[in-house]
Amino acid sequence: MTPAIFPIRLRISTAYVILGERAVLVDTGSEGEEERVLRGLRRYNVEPERVALLLHTHGHTDHAGSTRALRERLRVPAAVHAADAGKMRAGDSGPLVPLRFSSRVLAFFLNPRFPAVEPDLLIEEGYSLGEFGIPAVVVHTPGHTPGSISVLFDDGRAIAGDLMMGGSLGGAYHAAEPGYHYFAEDVTELRRSIRKLLDRGAKTIYLGHGGPLEAGRARERFAPDFAAA
Ligand SMILES: [Zn+2]
Ligand SMILES: [Zn+2]
């Protein structure tokens, strides 16, 4: 059985529920969005009891903001890459380093703080979702943050968080148009990570903002920058 990937659209970001034998929730949105996430699960007929793990693409406020509330409600572990664990422990997104000028403006609108939560599980490259009946592994794709990860399925689908962005204004327009996210802590690493995910065979890329992207178009967009990586 091929597990479904259901998008749950939230105020700023999109969370995803992966439905295999068990369900894995990828990201939890911003603070105060737990009800919205739970409604999203119900809309896809995923009983909350089926959720086995809260997996984070990274520790930013719009992806881990409702983790503390959802962990209390669902009673399941929260997992994050070790390099972003500090952001979750502190409830602080850390430096929002703008990639281009307009991001400086946007940074004012994004509150970096969120309810702190001690991660239960620190994951790294190669962590498998096999135990949940989901043929997918974690690929470490740092750059946006040091602990950014992607979930790569055997069939080439990938959930990549903020590794890239689809379209403009957070994906509101031209969502299938590949582009850079507004923020990156290390842009050289970011480009390496985009290349890594594409080279590993990603075909359809689901994102925290906009998307999904088709890998061919993403390669066209980013390959000219790979030389600089
Ligand atoms: Zn982010
Ligand atoms: Zn985001």
pLDDT number for residue 101: 66
Q: How far is the CA of 30 from the centre of ligand 2 (A)?
A: 9
**Whether residue 100 has pLDDT greater than 80:** no
Average confidence (pLDDT) over 113-129 = 97
**Whether residue 153 has pLDDT greater than 70:** yes
For ion ligand 1, residues whose CB falls within 5 Å: 60, 162
Q: How far is the CA of 62 from the centre of ligand 1 (A)?
A: 7
**Whether residue 216 has pLDDT greater than 90:** yes
pLDDT band at 103, cuts 50/70/90? low
Tell me the percentage of the chain whose pLDDT exceeds 90. 85
| Nearest in space to 19 (alpha carbons), one of 32, 29, 8, 35 | 8
Report for 42-46, 94-98, 224-228: range of highest mean pLDDT? 42-46
Q: How far is the CA of 109 from the centre of ligand 2 (A)?
A: 13
Average confidence (pLDDT) over 9-20 = 96
Average confidence (pLDDT) over 76-96 = 96
DSSP state of 117: -
Q: Which amino acid is at 192?
A: R
What is the model's pTM?
0.96
pLDDT number for residue 105: 61
> How far apart are alpha carbons 33 and 26 in whole angstroms?
14
Q: How far is the CA of 110 from the centre of ligand 2 (A)?
A: 10
C-beta neighbour count of 137 within 10 angstroms: 18
Query: For the ranges 33-42, 114-123, 167-176, which has the lowest average pLDDT?
Result: 167-176
Tell me the percentage of the chain whose pLDDT exceeds 70. 95
CB 40 within 8 A of CB 5: no
> How far apart are alpha carbons 206 and 201 in whole angstroms?
14
Ligand nearest to the CA of 190: 1
| CA-to-CA separations, 88 to 2, 80, 141, 147, in angstroms, rounded | 31, 9, 18, 11
Query: The dihedral of CA 152, 116, 187, 122: what is its sign?
Result: negative
B/e letters for 140-150, b = 16+ CB within 10 Å, e = fewer, are bbbbbbbbbbb
